[in-house]
Amino acid sequence: MTSKKVIELFYDVVSPYSWLGFEVMCRYRTVWNIELKLRPTFLGGIMQGSGNKPPGLVPNKFLYMGKDLNRLSEYFNVPLRSPSDPFEAMFQKGSLNAMRFVTAVQEKGKGGDEQVERVSRELWRRIWYEDKDITEPASLSEAGIKAGLSDSEIKELLELSNSKEIKNKLKISTQNALDYGAFGFPLVVCHLNGKPEMFFGSDRFELMAHCIGEKWLGPLPDKPAAKL
């Protein structure tokens, strides 16, 4: 068997399209010959660093986004539901605290990205399905508990997430994404023959499969295992 292709997934839990990309890449981790590396990153820093404008700030895009997410939720089998106040959730509250917490989880994780995957998914569920906060320590604690972390682990992670070390690590991840050419999320970087190939969005999987020599089997390559 040829060596696994390294694929980096840069994401932020404030982005619903990132959730779609995240779930699909996690499903294909055991279908394609790949090594998936999760890269928690701060979308706010990407937008500022690239000079991009969030789709939610363009009225027609914002209206389309709501309808689009309903269709995508069914297609990808991901339980997406817009928050009651999307503008507040995405732009006023944001995700800096949440992504620092996820970064701390990754820093302390002992089993690869397993804990990062579970915590990220719970945070997405909170904001994009349960219409709950993801910024306050109590909110992060609830997500951590649902992801299987202990009270002592969560306390340590909350303290670590406010450290200079974790703040810098999140900044570095954000800058790495910008260096690849990021302007939004999800961002998937496939490393092929020593060269990075960048794919933006949750609708490039068929093209990505073609480029890495794999087969796209749809959003549910293994239906029993793919259900959330």
Tens digits of residue pLDDT in 122-144: 999 999 999 999 999 999 999 99
Residue 26 sits in a domain whose CATH number is: 3.40.30.10
Domain membership of residue 174 (yes or no) is: yes
- How far is the C-alpha of 39 from the C-alpha of 28, rounded, in Å? 17
Domain membership of residue 25 (yes or no) is: yes
Domain membership of residue 155 (yes or no) is: yes
pTM above 0.75, yes or no: yes
Catalytic site includes residue 152: no
Domain membership of residue 171 (yes or no) is: yes
Q: Give the count of beta carbons closer than 10 Å to the beta carbon of residue 30.
A: 12
Domain membership of residue 59 (yes or no) is: yes
Catalytic choice (3, 15, 152, 202): 15
Domain membership of residue 74 (yes or no) is: yes
- 118, 148 contact by CB (below 8 A): yes
The model's pLDDT over 112-125, given as tens digits with 9 standing for 90+, comes to: 799 999 999 999 99
Domain membership of residue 217 (yes or no) is: no
Domain housing 205: 5-212
CA-nearest of 26, 18, 8 to 190 is 8
Name the packing angle between helices 16-28 and 59-76 (round to 10°): 30
Domain membership of residue 225 (yes or no) is: no
The domain total for the chain is: 1
The model's pLDDT over 170-197, given as tens digits with 9 standing for 90+, comes to: 999 999 999 999 999 999 999 998 899 9
